[in-house]
Structure 1
Amino acid sequence: MRNIDLNIFQATHSKLHPEKGRILIAEPFLQGPYFARSIILITEHSEEGTVGFVINKSTDVYPDEVIDDLFNFSGELFIGGPVSSNTLHYLHTLGDLVPGSIKITPSIYWGGDFEQIKKLINKGMATNESVRFFAGYSGWSPGQLEHEISEKSWIVSTLEDKQIMVSDTSNIWKETMENLGDVYRTWSNFPSNPAFN
């Protein structure tokens, strides 16, 4: 009998460090309503901590149901994370059209003048393909995210802007995990609940 080195529970982790514009991919064993099979776009990372938004957890609520004077917005409201879940945040690709927004990637911005966002949507100049709303956000205190990465809860990677803002996010975790290759392709096929295997 010959032994082979096959450990599907360990993988060579990316050498990328967390920083603004990169993503966090939850490993398949991470559980919980917010982070299980989640992908998080990091919007801020510094000595003071980390902020990001889960981009693939939509709700059955539509932003125009909870935002006054917002009309005909067809995209869902996403769950950004467990922190301040009663607050509203938004990512967009409108750039300088929204004063005060912070550039995160070459074409994705965070925040900015909320009244201007509503005005652009109501005029038909912005849609769910260019704006995404979130309830709450994901946050880590200084050093906390690095600790979770060292415990192999997260994989740090990158994603093209068009994939981050895609309308249908139902398969994005699986596809992103598969694209990492190696053992990650196997992980992408793990059942959500190992008891069902």
Structure 2
Amino acid sequence: MDTLRGRLLVATPAIESGPFMRSVVFVLDHDADGALGVILNRPLDSEVDDVLPDWAGLVNAPVCLFDGGPVAMDSALALGVIADVAPPIGWRQMAGRVGLVDLEGPLPGNGEFAGIRVFAGYAGWGADQLEAELEEGAWLVVEALDADLMSPQPETLWREVLRRQDNDVRFWTTFPDDPSAN
């Protein structure tokens, strides 16, 4: 099996409702036991300062928590894109310059990260579940850019990722939110 770790899952119009509608998921882990990722384009109303005050000055704008997915919404995890320096203490590589940041460890120093984002919850799939959803056409798998993880306008990320593709999926960006209202 080819791993999807470090790639993006982009929801297709086949996902018509729920937490994954028009979502962009960064895949943190993928193997025979299942997959794990975080939704990148669902900012929440909660500020990082409300739950992790020491980290508020370290995260990228928008400085809010993100809905990482429907699993374990009462827990937080952080993704960090390291700067062009040695990996900082408390950072565990997931793909390229992207890794998990230990929120209980020491605060990173200035310039260690190109960006940090904090997520409430995560997206998870059991063994063969994601593969079945891919076969059904629910997801498009595309390459991730570091900038996707730290987009200052996460609400537009779904369309941005689709627009940069070199095939007809770019036209999905014109698909109405509610096709019945068309």
- TM-score, L = length of structure 1: 0.80
* Residue 92 of structure 2 is aligned to residue 102 of structure 1: yes
| Aligned counterparts of 2:27 and 2:21: Cα–Cα separation in 1 | 17
The structural deviation recorded for 1:126 is: 6.8
The structural deviation recorded for 1:42 is: 0.4
Aligned to 1:173: 158
Of the structure 1 ranges 22-31 and 180-189, higher mean CA displacement relative to structure 2 is found in: 180-189
**Rg (Cα) greater in structure:** 1
Question: Residues 18 and 156 of structure 1 are in contact (CA less than 8 Å); yes or no, is this contact kept in structure 2?
Answer: no
* Residue 75 of structure 2 is aligned to residue 87 of structure 1: yes
The structural deviation recorded for 1:18 is: 4.8
Aligned to 2:26: 41
Of the structure 1 ranges 137-146 and 33-42, higher mean CA displacement relative to structure 2 is found in: 33-42
Instruction: State which of 58, 70, 77 in structure 1 corresponds to 2:65.
Output: 77
Aligned to 2:49: 64
Deviations along 1:115-135, one digit per CA (max 9) or x if unpaired, are 32xx23xx75578x6110000
Distance 1:84 1:175, change over 3 A: same
- TM-score, L = length of structure 2: 0.86
Question: Residues 98 and 113 of structure 1 are in contact (CA less than 8 Å); yes or no, is this contact kept in structure 2?
Answer: no
- Alignment coverage as a number of residue pairs: 176
Aligned to 1:190: 175
Question: Residues 87 and 112 of structure 2 are in contact (CA less than 8 Å); yes or no, is this contact kept in structure 1?
Answer: no
Instruction: State which of 34, 54, 62 in structure 1 corresponds to 2:39.
Output: 54
Deviations along 1:124-150, one digit per CA (max 9) or x if unpaired, are 5578x6110000000000100000000
Distance 1:71 1:102, change over 3 A: closer
The structural deviation recorded for 1:82 is: 0.3
- CA-based RMSD: 2.3
Gaps of at least 5 residues in structure 1 are 1-16
Question: What letter matches 1:84 in structure 2?
Answer: A
Question: Residues 81 and 146 of structure 2 are in contact (CA less than 8 Å); yes or no, is this contact kept in structure 1?
Answer: no
The structure richer in strand per residue is: 2
| Aligned counterparts of 2:149 and 2:117: Cα–Cα separation in 1 | 10
